[in-house]
């Protein structure tokens, strides 16, 4: 059984979750060849070395003074590793390799921060709900753990773009046989979708998950499965990338300026006739039954070509967690905790599987592959729920992105930790970011 929520657990469980999260991110950096830590696989992001320091710098900046009294041992590195970069339409970073500390110094900083934090946490009392100040230890530790695990996923996107010969490939099992999916749509009757978390509950949630609200959703139909590579290939072959009518003005401008003509996870063979999936460790002949991973702009263009649209966040939530009996489920499949039979998540694999590979994860209405195997784009612009209050210890986490330029994605990918498999968790990206493990399924308001 996976640990899906450690919010109200005992201190030992939280400390062990922090140790597990550290092991997860350490293992991720192990796939980078030792001569490649100063590479920048995504032009808009920091070099890899930043993220090694950032994970500890974040924990230290978060906990220092709020939970633990810590010495000012490396204030320059605490500042250097404080923040990442969001790539919305701005200029690219111009720093040089030589601007960064040596790997030895960064690794020493990581060791020192961990030692100081662990020593301080070990001296704390048993009650992690109380803590010593304005915020409970349990809240701050959940923030540290989930921040690290979010980076475990976004770092995987980044390392995906690192050339194959700069990575240490693990020994991998051969890909399973294809599981064909017959594309169908499911009719969802009108009814409510419940979004967010109640503030008086004791489950952990980020600031944007509050407060809970109910939304009335008219009847609609939704794809049973995520859109596959095979389906998307039909759009590509139909000239979808060259047909202006399927793209918004901003999306067309972006596509033209960047000469985008296919998903970033696809590449052609030498003769250009055959498509390959750009896997984490090597190319794979394009698996027709895997979900396609594309930007919001490309997903939207496909949906228009297909005569459909992307779901709103409320439609997606209703299809995922609603049921014909009117109850809302904890997970799409019911209340049983997540395990590998329900979906491709919690670092189960480096790549997707067939969209039809986990029928045991189907929702009450019969939508399959809701959690895992790739996030799903929605048409909803990321904005606060009524009653939103930012986390004062991390004011930019959500509020910096309430700018009308980011769209909500829902679900999970193969590299999403189990703790994020809660209905209220929201993720968001700008519409032209192609590197997320995100695909989509379509909806239609025209019922049969």
- Report the residue number, 84 or 133, with the smaller CB distance to Fe ion: 84
CA-to-CA dists, residue 332 to 7, 221, 323, 421, angstroms: 21, 17, 9, 10
Q: How far is the CB of 206 from Fe ion (least distance, A)?
A: 13
Instruction: Please give the order of strands across the beta sheet that includes 438-439.
Output: 427-429, 407-410, 375-381, 438-439
Q: How far is the CB of 49 from Fe ion (least distance, A)?
A: 15
- Report the residue number, 148 or 304, with the smaller CB distance to Fe ion: 148
Strand-strand pairing, 438-439 and 375-381: parallel
Q: How far is the CB of 142 from Fe ion (least distance, A)?
A: 15
- Report the residue number, 113 or 299, with the smaller CB distance to Fe ion: 113
- Helix, strand and coil content of the chain, in percent to the nearest 5, comes to 35, 10, 55
Which residue blocks in 30-91 are alpha helix, DSSP H? 48-63, 75-80
Q: Name which of residues 202 to 231 contact Fe ion (CB under 5 A).
A: none
Dihedral sign (CA 399, 401, 407, 409): negative
In the DSSP assignment, the letter for residue 428 is: E
- Report the residue number, 26 or 253, with the smaller CB distance to Fe ion: 26
Largest CA distance in the chain: 66
- Report the residue number, 51 or 333, with the smaller CB distance to Fe ion: 51
Q: How far is the CB of 435 from Fe ion (least distance, A)?
A: 16
Per-residue contact flags (x/-) with Fe ion for residues 71 to 110, judged by CB under 5 A: -------------x--------------------------
Q: Among all residues, whose Cβ is closest to Fe ion?
A: 84
Q: How far is the CB of 58 from Fe ion (least distance, A)?
A: 5
- Report the residue number, 19 or 82, with the smaller CB distance to Fe ion: 82
Q: How far is the CB of 57 from Fe ion (least distance, A)?
A: 9
- The span from the CA of 359 to the CA of 378, in Å, is 22
Q: Name which of residues 297 to 316 contact Fe ion (CB under 5 A).
A: none
Q: How far is the CB of 51 from Fe ion (least distance, A)?
A: 8
Q: How far is the CB of 147 from Fe ion (least distance, A)?
A: 6
- Report the residue number, 61 or 229, with the smaller CB distance to Fe ion: 61
- Report the residue number, 84 or 396, with the smaller CB distance to Fe ion: 84
The H-or-E segment that residue 376 falls in is strand 375-381
* Cβ contact 418:345 at 8 Å: yes
The backbone region for 265, taken as left when phi is positive above 0, alpha when psi lies in -120 to 50, beta otherwise, is alpha
Angle at 217 between CA 215 and CA 218, to 5 degrees: 155
Neighbours of 199 (CB within 10 A): 12
- Report the residue number, 85 or 169, with the smaller CB distance to Fe ion: 85
Q: How far is the CB of 168 from Fe ion (least distance, A)?
A: 24
* Cβ contact 47:38 at 8 Å: yes
Per-residue contact flags (x/-) with Fe ion for residues 25 to 64, judged by CB under 5 A: ----------------------------------------
Return the residue matching tokens 């700018």. Answer: 403
Say how many residues touch Fe ion, by CB under 5 A. 1
Q: How far is the CB of 81 from Fe ion (least distance, A)?
A: 9
Angle at 289 between CA 286 and CA 295, to 5 degrees: 70
Name beta bridge partners: 119. none
Dihedral sign (CA 361, 367, 368, 371): negative
Which residue blocks in 238-370 are alpha helix, DSSP H? 249-257, 296-305, 313-321
- Report the residue number, 82 or 238, with the smaller CB distance to Fe ion: 82
Residues of the shown chain interacting with Fe ion in the complex, contacts defined by CB under 5 A:
84
């Amino acid at each position: 059984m996976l640990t899906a929520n450690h919010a109200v657990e005992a201190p030992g469980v939280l400390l062990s979750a922090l140790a597990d999260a550290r092991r997860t991110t350490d293992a991720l950096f192990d796939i980078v060849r030792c001569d490649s830590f100063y590479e920048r696989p995504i032009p808009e992001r920091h070099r890899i070395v930043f993220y090694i320091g950032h994970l500890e710098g974040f924990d230290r900046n978060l906990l220092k003074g709020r939970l633990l009294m810590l010495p000012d041992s490396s204030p320059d590195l605490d500042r250097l590793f404080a923040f990442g970069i969001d790539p919305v339409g701005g200029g690219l970073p111009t720093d040089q390799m030589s601007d960064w500390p040596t790997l030895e110094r960064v690794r020493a900083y990581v060791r020192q921060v961990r030692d100081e934090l662990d020593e301080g946490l070990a001296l704390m009392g048993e009650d992690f709900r109380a803590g010593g100040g304005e915020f409970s230890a349990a809240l701050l530790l959940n923030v540290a753990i989930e921040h690290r695990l979010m980076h475990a996923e976004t770092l995987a996107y980044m390392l995906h773009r690192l050339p194959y010969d700069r990575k240490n490939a693990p020994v991998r099992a051969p890909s399973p046989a294809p599981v064909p999916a017959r594309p169908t749509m499911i009719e969802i009757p009108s009814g409510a979708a419940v979004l967010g978390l109640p503030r008086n509950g004791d489950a952990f949630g980020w600031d944007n998950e509050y407060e809970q609200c109910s939304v009335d959703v008219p009847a609609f139909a939704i794809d049973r499965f995520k859109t596959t590579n095979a389906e998307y290939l039909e759009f590509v072959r139909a000239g979808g990338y060259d047909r202006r009518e399927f793209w918004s003005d901003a999306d067309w401008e972006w596509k033209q300026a960047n000469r985008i003509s296919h998903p970033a996870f696809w590449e052609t063979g030498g003769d250009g006739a055959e498509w390959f999936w750009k896997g984490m460790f090597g190319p794979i002949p394009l698996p027709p039954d895997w979900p396609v991973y594309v930007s919001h702009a490309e997903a939207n263009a496909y949906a228009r070509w297909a005569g459909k649209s992307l779901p709103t966040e409320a439609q997606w939530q209703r299809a995922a967690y609603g049921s014909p009996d009117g109850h809302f489920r904890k997970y799409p499949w019911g209340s049983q905790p997540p395990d590998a039979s329900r979906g491709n998540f919690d670092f189960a694999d480096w790549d997707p599987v067939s969209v039809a590979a986990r029928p045991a994860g189907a929702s009450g209405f019969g939508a399959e592959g809701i959690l895992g195997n790739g996030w799903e784009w929605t048409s909803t612009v990321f904005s606060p729920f009524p009653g939103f209050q930012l986390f004062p210890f991390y004011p930019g986490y959500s509020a910096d992105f309430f700018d009308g330029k980011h769209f909500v994605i829902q679900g999970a990918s193969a590299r999403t930790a189990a703790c994020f498999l809660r209905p209220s968790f929201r993720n968001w990206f700008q519409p032209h970011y192609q590197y997320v493990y995100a695909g989509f399924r379509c909806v239609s308001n025209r019922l049969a």
